[in-house]
Amino acid sequence: MPYLNQILTPERTACSVPGVSKKRLFETIARLVVSDQRSLPYDDVLNRLIAREKLGSTGIGKGIAIPHCRVKDCRAPLGSLVTLEAPIEFDAPDELPVDLLFVLLVPEEAHQQHLDILANVARLFSQEDFCRDMRAARDREVLYEIACSKEG
């Protein structure tokens, strides 16, 4: 099962991102992803993230969300890690706003792998010290190092 250091890059990691709304945040994330993965069309990434979110919130509670979707031109699972400047509403089950997100994109045919990675990410993000350390990071390099130092 891939660990974060196998699906995340420093280029897809961002600290203190302004997040006015889910839609604006997804636009920012889609730009972040496609600037590092030029084979992925911006509109496809954005539309699939939004479509998945319409099925139900990817907020998992405690200020954390794990947006995820399958993308046609995605060749291997990839992630993006984002902390927000200020928490935003995300319709999470505990009704707390979100300030920490791990976004997962997988190939369309990666069904079991998609579920396995989501379970691993959820397990990592259930660790309070891990999340606290990521929230304290002030630049993307430090955030990336924290994320990749912990394995599920």
Residue-range domains of the chain with CATH: 4-149 (3.40.930.10)
Count of other CB atoms within 10 angstroms of residue 30: 24
> How would residue 111 be classed by pLDDT, with cut points 50, 70 and 90?
low
Which pLDDT does position 1 carry in this prediction?
41
> How many CB atoms sit inside 10 A of residue 93's CB?
11
pLDDT of the residue at 16? 95
pLDDT by residue (tens digit) across 8-28?
999 999 999 997 899 999 999
Is residue 42 pLDDT above 80, yes or no? yes
- If you average pLDDT over every residue of the chain, what do you get? 91
Average pLDDT over residues 49-66: 96
Report the candidate in 104, 94, 147 with the shortest Cα–Cα distance to residue 124. 147
Strands (E) across 5-150 are located at: 13-17, 59-61, 64-65, 68-71, 78-88, 98-107
Residue numbers annotated as active site: 68
69: how many CB neighbours lie within 10 A of its CB? 22
What pLDDT score was predicted for residue 27? 96
| pLDDT tens track for 65-94 | 999 998 988 989 999 999 999 999 999 999
Structure tokens at 134: 């990521």
Amino acid of residue 120: N
